[in-house]
Structure 1
Amino acid sequence: MSPNRSPQPLAATPAATAVLAMVLTEGPLSRVDLARRLGISSAAVTKAARPFLDDGYLHELDSERTAPGAGRPVSPLAITPDREFVIGVKVTADEVIGVVADLKARIRNSAHRQLPDCEPATVLATLAALVEELLDADPELRGKTRRMGVAVSGDVDRVRGVVRLSPLLGWQDVDLAGPVGDATGLVVVVENDVKALTVAEHWFGDGVGTDDFTLVTVGAGIGCGIVTGGRLLSGAYGVAGEVGHVCVDASGPVCHCGARGCVEAIAATEAIVGRARLLTGRDGLTFTEAAELARSGSPEVCALFSEAGTAIGLAITAVVNLIGPERIVVSGEGLDAYDLFETEIRQAYATHAFGAAARCPLTIRPLPFEEWARGAAAVGIQTLFAPARG
């Protein structure tokens, strides 16, 4: 396996991984705080942190006393954000969106490139050109960028860097990490786009500090990323979290997967648009136009969005009842029409969430595609600091 397909983390031991990850996501933290929260000795924290201090990934802040009259001052450990940069790219059906992020996943530069088609060779060439554009913007970035995350919709084998199936792109068994790494000279990790966004939210967003966190996305598909016990859930076959293919109506419309009544067949943007076109007889109707028809009072189109909201609410409830997350974030481009199905989402959730599970708050966060690219960068950062999951 080539180096571009097997990124090696900086941390060589579980203690080093834990220390580095906690400082990255929740720091600055003192050695005493790290020892207490991780359940290890202060000496173990010092030993784990020393190589990262020597390499410049961590630094000590000025000494401070934890309280008046307390013992000797402590020097909290903090990440050095500009020690290294990571590229993140989100691939859609018609464009690639790229960002350069520092080690706190703060975006330093971004760029877009249109895709004339979704052929793997076209996407590869576009990705390579996009990377050059991003790195040419600042000489500092080129000298400090070694890793890249790529986020793609569908079934992704992250370990092998292969897109097993992406209906949106029309791909099956496409080796992406190897060719992209060869074309760019970067260490490349490929991840499902919803899982990548979940990593970003868990490490750097609303999920910071939680061991159990869920992200649901509403748009071209209905996706879900699940963190349980502090780890992103992949499952035995890498497709954990596919709530878009939970059946909520056994007699409902046929899904693109071949099953009937899936959440995606009712609530994905194309599903809503397709049914709205049949109802109105307008073959060129767009999602935005369908939403405007609903807002202007069209009862048939309003009903489509209501059905979508109920389906999404049931999908969210299924996740909450099964996994029991502490927090759940709902995002995605479909939230442009959130006002049309918010009531139904919350009603379905309130009705079907079991017992204390209903206490899990729903946070609504519309995120632009740059944030999805940032998610890809977050996956790259994750591989830098923690072992890749199998």
Structure 2
Amino acid sequence: MVHHHFAHYLDVKFHNKSRILRTISAGPVTRVDLARITGLSPATITTLVKELLAAGLVVETQALESMGGRPPILLEFNPDARRAIGLSVDSKRIQAAVVNLAGAIVHLREESLHSTDPQQLLPQVANLVRTLVAEAGLEWDWVAGVGVAVPGIVDPKQGVVRLSTVLGWREVPLGPELSALLGKPVLVQRNGNAAALAEAYFGKSEIQPNLLYLRLSSGIGAAVVAGGSVYTGTTGRAGEVGHMVLDPDGPLCRCGNRGCLEALASARAITGRALEQIQAGRGRRMLELAGGDPEDLTVAHVIQAAQEGDPEAGALLEEAGRWIGLAIAGLVNFTDIHAVVLDGELSQAGETLLQPVRETAMKAVLPSDGARLQIWPSSLWPRAGVIGAATLIIEEVLRFMETEVKPRKRSRSPLPDPE
């Protein structure tokens, strides 16, 4: 995250401006309503709204109806005042998107990785951004910055990927080097943390300042958004719930322990148990969906079979759902956060998975928490990562109210402004 060192009065000013913009972004309001909602003085409202209007982040419109006399002037958030670029990188491909300040993807492009070697990947990423901006017909001045989501352990303050076993990286200064190539600020975050931020800001109709995020894929990871910010922990490893031991006598996990959540309820674990059923002469519908070849079986085939009413596939998802629900209950009891979003392939499995997740979690949380607990599937899947990467930039724009996020150092080779 970018850290700015302002005098105290500037800190207060930015904080107040952020409160104003967040209030306006929730829906059109008058200046009088704004003063009432925020508790700020009319003089402060007048001054700061003028600055937001000048930056283009807020526009004025007239109400269609009034109680008599001149219709009141409404203030509306302008999500198109700036754009953010989001990049999501994994071992095989890059997703890149132009995203507006409301979290909507304006233009999307994907490419296969030429190489995971940073010396080859960074120029590819820079060229992809240039192509994306050109295809979107976007003026470079409108780009507030570039956010990057990567698998691994990240130091977001320095923009350094400390370790990514997926990419084979150690101590890669991704943020500073990409910023130097593009002449724009670049913020870097772990992919799960970035996706959690997207879900908190844009996943539901209202912002979720406190949110638990679970990614249910071939592995299982989590992220915590508290007070509107991602909690990363001391070393950036926060969220490694996949290796929480739930059943000491359970199946062996790839980490060496038994009964980890990942060994019980991940997409890999479910597919493995489906293969065991097929080898035992059961799981006929799942095998048919895989084209008759067990080696081609994926969790998508299990999900499809369950949605068609296949009892064997349904039982596999229900069992996984109970373990996931138990893990969620532990996280809710520990964090006191009652909003939980599920992402990843399994999040789209429907009620066959979600019902046992919710039922188990409701029973296992503290009695006073059950009524408040909300668990829902991601509405951003499979784009939460790339939207989350852009959200790193959007968050800074909304927080500090600058027309663009400032680069950490002078760029060596800025991208020229379009003619």
User: Shorter chain as normaliser: what TM range?
Assistant: 0.7 to 0.9
CA deviations 1:131-183 (Å, max 9, x no partner) are: 12211114334342141111123322211112223343343333211122122
Deviation for aligned residue 1:289: 4.1
CA distance in 1, matches of 2:271, 2:5: 44
- The answer for the alignment partner of 2:335 in structure 1 is 323
Identity between Structure 1 and Structure 2 (%): 31
CA distance in 2, matches of 1:163, 1:181: 14
CA distance in 2, matches of 1:117, 1:101: 26
- The answer for the alignment partner of 1:14 in structure 2 is 15
CA distance in 1, matches of 2:231, 2:208: 14
- The answer for the alignment partner of 1:118 in structure 2 is 116
> Which amino acid counterpart does residue 267 of structure 1 have in structure 2?
A
CA deviations 1:39-71 (Å, max 9, x no partner) are: 332322333333222222222222577x7369x
CA distance in 2, matches of 1:254, 1:171: 28
> Which amino acid counterpart does residue 152 of structure 1 have in structure 2?
V
CA distance in 1, matches of 2:118, 2:272: 27
- The answer for the alignment partner of 1:157 in structure 2 is 155
Q: Secondary structure of the equivalent of 2:370? A: helix
Contact kept, 8 Å, 1:64 with 1:75, in 2: the verdict is no
CA distance in 1, matches of 2:155, 2:171: 9
Q: Secondary structure of the equivalent of 2:233? A: coil
User: Residues 7 and 115 from structure 1, CA distance in 2 versus in 1: closer, same or farther, beyond 3 angstroms?
Assistant: farther
Q: Secondary structure of the equivalent of 1:186? A: coil
> Which amino acid counterpart does residue 351 of structure 1 have in structure 2?
K
How many residues are treated as equivalent by the alignment?
Answer: 380
Contact kept, 8 Å, 1:156 with 1:190, in 2: the verdict is yes
CA deviations 1:197-227 (Å, max 9, x no partner) are: 2222322331624443333221133233333
Q: RMSD across aligned C-alpha pairs, in angstroms?
A: 3.3
Listed as ranges, the matches of 1:80-91 within 5 Å are 80-91=78-89
1:383 lines up with 2:381 in the alignment: no
- The answer for the alignment partner of 1:137 in structure 2 is 135
Listed as ranges, the matches of 1:208-227 within 5 Å are 208-227=206-225
CA distance in 2, matches of 1:298, 1:204: 36
Deviation for aligned residue 1:21: 3.2
CA distance in 2, matches of 1:125, 1:237: 28
User: Residues 172 and 364 from structure 1, CA distance in 2 versus in 1: closer, same or farther, beyond 3 angstroms?
Assistant: same
User: Residues 113 and 165 from structure 1, CA distance in 2 versus in 1: closer, same or farther, beyond 3 angstroms?
Assistant: same
User: Residues 211 and 141 from structure 1, CA distance in 2 versus in 1: closer, same or farther, beyond 3 angstroms?
Assistant: same
> Which amino acid counterpart does residue 149 of structure 1 have in structure 2?
G
> Which amino acid counterpart does residue 326 of structure 2 have in structure 1?
L
Gaps of 5+ in 2: 280-293, 406-419
1:344 lines up with 2:356 in the alignment: yes
CA distance in 2, matches of 1:208, 1:287: 32
- When the two structures are superposed, what TM-score results if normalisation uses the length of structure 2? 0.78
Listed as ranges, the matches of 1:202-351 within 5 Å are 202-206=200-204, 208-277=206-275, 280=278, 282-283=294-295, 285-291=297-303, 299=312, 304-338=316-350, 340-351=352-363
Q: Secondary structure of the equivalent of 1:244? A: helix
Contact kept, 8 Å, 1:98 with 1:370, in 2: the verdict is no
1:23 lines up with 2:21 in the alignment: no
- The answer for the alignment partner of 2:47 in structure 1 is 47
User: Residues 289 and 107 from structure 1, CA distance in 2 versus in 1: closer, same or farther, beyond 3 angstroms?
Assistant: closer
- The answer for the alignment partner of 2:192 in structure 1 is 194
Contact kept, 8 Å, 1:97 with 1:369, in 2: the verdict is no
Deviation for aligned residue 1:8: 6.2
- When the two structures are superposed, what TM-score results if normalisation uses the length of structure 1? 0.83
1:372 lines up with 2:370 in the alignment: no
Gaps of 5+ in 1: none
Deviation for aligned residue 1:371: 3.7
Deviation for aligned residue 1:328: 2.5
User: Residues 255 and 34 from structure 1, CA distance in 2 versus in 1: closer, same or farther, beyond 3 angstroms?
Assistant: farther
